[in-house]
Amino acid sequence: MSWQESSREAAPSSSSSAGGEQGGSVLPTRPIWKSIRRGFFGRCPNCNRGKMFRAFLKVADRCAVCDEALHHHRADDAPAYFVILIVGHLVVPLVLVVEVAYAPPYWLHAALWLPLTIGLAVGLLQPIKGAIVGWQWANYMHGFDPDGGDDAAAEIES
Ligand SMILES: [Zn+2]
Protein backbone atom coordinates (compact mmCIF):
# COMPACT_ATOMS: atom_id res chain seq x y z
CA MET A 1 0.00 0.00 0.00
CA SER A 2 1.64 3.15 -1.24
CA TRP A 3 0.31 5.45 1.49
CA GLN A 4 2.13 3.47 4.20
CA GLU A 5 5.43 3.40 2.36
CA SER A 6 5.15 7.10 1.68
CA SER A 7 4.51 7.86 5.34
CA ARG A 8 7.90 6.34 6.18
CA GLU A 9 9.55 8.33 3.41
CA ALA A 10 7.93 11.48 4.71
CA ALA A 11 9.08 10.91 8.29
CA PRO A 12 12.58 12.40 7.88
CA SER A 13 11.23 15.57 6.29
CA SER A 14 8.68 16.07 9.08
CA SER A 15 11.32 15.52 11.78
CA SER A 16 13.67 17.89 10.00
CA SER A 17 10.86 20.42 9.91
CA ALA A 18 10.59 20.19 13.70
CA GLY A 19 14.35 20.43 14.24
CA GLY A 20 15.17 22.55 11.26
CA GLU A 21 18.81 21.45 11.25
CA GLN A 22 18.79 20.27 7.64
CA GLY A 23 18.67 22.21 4.40
CA GLY A 24 15.49 23.32 2.71
CA SER A 25 12.76 25.47 4.12
CA VAL A 26 11.91 25.09 7.80
CA LEU A 27 8.33 23.93 8.02
CA PRO A 28 6.19 24.76 11.05
CA THR A 29 4.98 21.77 13.06
CA ARG A 30 1.36 21.00 12.34
CA PRO A 31 -0.91 19.53 15.06
CA ILE A 32 -1.61 15.94 14.00
CA TRP A 33 -4.66 15.06 16.14
CA LYS A 34 -6.29 18.43 15.58
CA SER A 35 -5.81 18.02 11.82
CA ILE A 36 -7.22 14.48 11.93
CA ARG A 37 -10.25 15.70 13.90
CA ARG A 38 -10.86 18.61 11.53
CA GLY A 39 -10.65 16.28 8.55
CA PHE A 40 -13.00 13.78 10.24
CA PHE A 41 -15.64 16.49 10.45
CA GLY A 42 -15.05 17.51 6.83
CA ARG A 43 -13.26 20.75 7.63
CA CYS A 44 -10.07 22.19 6.20
CA PRO A 45 -7.18 20.96 8.40
CA ASN A 46 -5.52 24.38 8.14
CA CYS A 47 -8.30 26.83 9.07
CA ASN A 48 -11.19 24.61 10.30
CA ARG A 49 -13.66 26.90 8.49
CA GLY A 50 -13.56 25.82 4.84
CA LYS A 51 -14.96 22.51 3.62
CA MET A 52 -12.58 19.68 2.75
CA PHE A 53 -15.02 17.98 0.36
CA ARG A 54 -16.67 19.51 -2.71
CA ALA A 55 -18.91 16.43 -3.11
CA PHE A 56 -19.31 13.02 -1.47
CA LEU A 57 -15.74 11.64 -1.12
CA LYS A 58 -14.40 14.29 -3.54
CA VAL A 59 -11.69 16.34 -1.83
CA ALA A 60 -11.74 20.00 -2.87
CA ASP A 61 -8.66 21.16 -4.77
CA ARG A 62 -8.27 24.12 -2.40
CA CYS A 63 -9.92 25.39 0.75
CA ALA A 64 -12.46 28.06 -0.21
CA VAL A 65 -11.65 30.08 2.94
CA CYS A 66 -7.85 29.97 3.39
CA ASP A 67 -6.83 28.72 -0.11
CA GLU A 68 -4.80 25.84 1.37
CA ALA A 69 -4.12 23.25 -1.34
CA LEU A 70 -5.81 19.97 -0.47
CA HIS A 71 -5.46 18.14 -3.80
CA HIS A 72 -2.05 16.72 -2.78
CA HIS A 73 -3.61 13.99 -0.67
CA ARG A 74 -3.08 10.32 -1.54
CA ALA A 75 -5.75 8.66 0.56
CA ASP A 76 -6.11 5.93 -2.09
CA ASP A 77 -7.76 2.83 -0.60
CA ALA A 78 -6.87 3.57 3.03
CA PRO A 79 -10.37 4.92 3.89
CA ALA A 80 -12.03 1.74 2.63
CA TYR A 81 -9.49 -0.36 4.53
CA PHE A 82 -10.16 1.40 7.84
CA VAL A 83 -13.95 1.38 7.28
CA ILE A 84 -13.90 -2.39 6.72
CA LEU A 85 -11.70 -2.82 9.80
CA ILE A 86 -13.94 -0.72 12.06
CA VAL A 87 -17.35 -1.87 10.76
CA GLY A 88 -16.26 -5.52 10.79
CA HIS A 89 -15.13 -5.27 14.40
CA LEU A 90 -18.46 -3.69 15.38
CA VAL A 91 -20.95 -5.76 13.42
CA VAL A 92 -19.46 -9.27 13.61
CA PRO A 93 -19.36 -9.39 17.45
CA LEU A 94 -22.91 -7.98 17.56
CA VAL A 95 -24.14 -10.70 15.18
CA LEU A 96 -22.51 -13.39 17.31
CA VAL A 97 -23.85 -12.00 20.61
CA VAL A 98 -27.40 -11.71 19.24
CA GLU A 99 -27.26 -15.20 17.69
CA VAL A 100 -26.03 -16.81 20.91
CA ALA A 101 -28.43 -14.90 23.16
CA TYR A 102 -31.64 -14.95 21.10
CA ALA A 103 -31.11 -17.26 18.09
CA PRO A 104 -33.39 -15.12 15.92
CA PRO A 105 -34.54 -16.33 12.45
CA TYR A 106 -32.20 -15.59 9.54
CA TRP A 107 -34.58 -13.05 8.00
CA LEU A 108 -34.28 -10.99 11.20
CA HIS A 109 -30.48 -11.23 11.07
CA ALA A 110 -30.58 -9.97 7.48
CA ALA A 111 -33.03 -7.20 8.36
CA LEU A 112 -30.79 -6.03 11.22
CA TRP A 113 -27.23 -6.38 9.99
CA LEU A 114 -27.43 -5.55 6.28
CA PRO A 115 -28.81 -2.01 6.80
CA LEU A 116 -26.51 -1.45 9.79
CA THR A 117 -23.42 -2.58 7.85
CA ILE A 118 -24.28 -0.53 4.76
CA GLY A 119 -25.23 2.50 6.85
CA LEU A 120 -22.04 2.42 8.92
CA ALA A 121 -19.84 1.87 5.87
CA VAL A 122 -21.36 4.71 3.85
CA GLY A 123 -21.57 6.98 6.87
CA LEU A 124 -17.97 6.45 7.98
CA LEU A 125 -16.25 6.49 4.59
CA GLN A 126 -16.08 10.27 4.14
CA PRO A 127 -15.17 11.13 7.78
CA ILE A 128 -12.37 8.57 7.72
CA LYS A 129 -11.13 9.81 4.37
CA GLY A 130 -11.13 13.32 5.80
CA ALA A 131 -9.17 12.16 8.84
CA ILE A 132 -6.56 10.50 6.60
CA VAL A 133 -6.23 13.61 4.44
CA GLY A 134 -5.84 15.70 7.61
CA TRP A 135 -3.15 13.30 8.87
CA GLN A 136 -1.27 13.47 5.55
CA TRP A 137 -1.53 17.27 5.58
CA ALA A 138 -0.23 17.51 9.17
CA ASN A 139 2.77 15.30 8.32
CA TYR A 140 3.63 17.13 5.07
CA MET A 141 3.17 13.86 3.21
CA HIS A 142 3.19 13.62 -0.59
CA GLY A 143 2.65 16.97 -2.30
CA PHE A 144 1.85 18.64 1.03
CA ASP A 145 5.63 18.84 1.53
CA PRO A 146 6.82 22.00 -0.26
CA ASP A 147 10.34 20.49 -0.48
CA GLY A 148 9.07 17.15 -1.76
CA GLY A 149 8.69 18.03 -5.40
CA ASP A 150 6.76 15.63 -7.57
CA ASP A 151 5.88 12.76 -5.22
CA ALA A 152 4.75 10.59 -8.14
CA ALA A 153 8.28 10.68 -9.58
CA ALA A 154 9.79 10.04 -6.12
CA GLU A 155 7.66 6.91 -5.68
CA ILE A 156 8.80 5.56 -9.06
CA GLU A 157 12.48 6.11 -8.14
CA SER A 158 12.21 4.31 -4.78
ZN1 LIG B 1 -8.85 26.37 5.03
CB within 8 Å of 146: residues ≥ 6 apart: 25, 27, 140
Q: For residues 60 and 2, which has the higher predicted lDDT (pLDDT)?
A: 60
- 60-110 pLDDT, tens per residue? 999 999 999 999 999 999 999 999 999 999 999 999 999 999 999 999 999
Q: For residues 21 and 47, which has the higher predicted lDDT (pLDDT)?
A: 47
Q: How many angstroms does the Cα of residue 75 sit away from the middle of ligand 1?
A: 19
Amino acid 104: pLDDT: 97
Contact yes or no for 45/136 (Cβ under 8 A): no
Q: How many angstroms does the Cα of residue 139 sit away from the middle of ligand 1?
A: 16
For residue 10, name the pLDDT band (cuts at 50, 70, 90). Answer: very low
Phi-psi region of 86 (alpha: psi -120 to 50; beta: other; left: phi over 0): alpha
What is the pLDDT of the chain when averaged over all its residues?
Answer: 85
Q: How many angstroms does the Cα of residue 141 sit away from the middle of ligand 1?
A: 17
Q: How many angstroms does the Cα of residue 44 sit away from the middle of ligand 1?
A: 5
% of the chain at pLDDT higher than 70: 78
8 has a pLDDT exceeding 60: no
- Please state the pTM of the whole predicted model: 0.78
